[in-house]
A = this chain, B = another copy of it.
Amino acid sequence: MVAPRWKAALDKALATYPKATVIQLASIDVNTSIPHVRSLIFRSFVSPTDDPSHPLLLATTDVRSPKTAQLIANPHVQVVWWIEGVQEQYRIAGRAHIVPAPKHSLYRQFMHNISQFSEGNLFDWDAKRIEVFKSMSAFMKASWCRPVPGSRLEGGQEEAKKWPVTLEDPKEGDEEGKRLWEMSLRNFALVVIEPQDIDYVELEPIPNRRTRFWRTAGGIWNEEELVP
């Protein structure tokens, strides 16, 4: 099977504008029926089953952030990806799952979910998680050993100034560095999004174009032209 046409378009846009990696992920808090949306950085596509027709989007998060609980209660999400340089918007609906550290209490739940949605249960998700963690900047790595994101800042800015600004792979005998590295890696999680329905708008051509792509149960992508 081949990669869907929307992915080829996205790959082309990203080849020209490689910094256009800011995406917005919308989820629902089922307790309040309130939508939540935040910016994330798209890291890469991953195809755990080596099937190019089934690309998953990879982003990262702190496992302690509210989106973890939201996605477990309701995995339905939509990503919107506006690529200014090519005047294209991709709205990607599907399911999202959090890949926590194996010792995390949610890991079993994740393995259950991921096996359903991507037949990806033979894939070494923790190896992927560690690979992505190591590829992050020292500055980003330090962001996962702060107190719980979104919690009240106890002690104010004076306290915040004590947080490590960067975090490097600890050298032999650096016990404090090792403690921080392990804390950070424990809080670091992947966000895996499985695209199921894509609304692709091109604002550069006149008349503008809009196409819907959706993945059927058999793994085949259908497409239909829509009114922009």
| Residues of chain A at the chain B interface (Cβ within 8 Å) | 22, 24, 26-28, 30, 32-39, 74, 76-80, 82, 84, 89, 91, 93, 143, 146-153, 156-157, 160-161, 163, 165, 199, 206-210, 224-228
- Contacts A26-B26, A84-B22, A89-B39; A34 near B78 (Cβ below 8 A): yes
- Contacts A24-B24, A153-B225; A33 near B35 (Cβ below 8 A): no
Evaluate contact between B161 and A80: CB separation under 8 angstroms: no
CB < 8 Å: which of B89, B153, B163, B228 contacts A38?
Answer: B89
- Contacts A24-B37, A153-B226; A207 near B161 (Cβ below 8 A): yes
CB < 8 Å: which of B37, B78, B143, B160 contacts A80?
Answer: B37
What chain B residues lie within 8 Å of A80 (beta carbons)? 24, 37-39
Q: How far is the CA of A225 from the CA of B34 in the complex (A)?
A: 23
What chain B residues lie within 8 Å of A143 (beta carbons)? 208, 228
CB < 8 Å: which of B163, B206, B227 contacts A147?
Answer: B227
What chain B residues lie within 8 Å of A91 (beta carbons)? 36-38
19 of the cross-chain contacts (CB-CB < 8 Å) are A24-B24, A24-B26, A26-B26, A28-B28, A28-B35, A35-B76, A37-B37, A37-B80, A37-B91, A38-B91, A146-B227, A147-B227, A148-B227, A149-B210, A151-B226, A152-B224, A152-B225, A153-B226, A165-B207
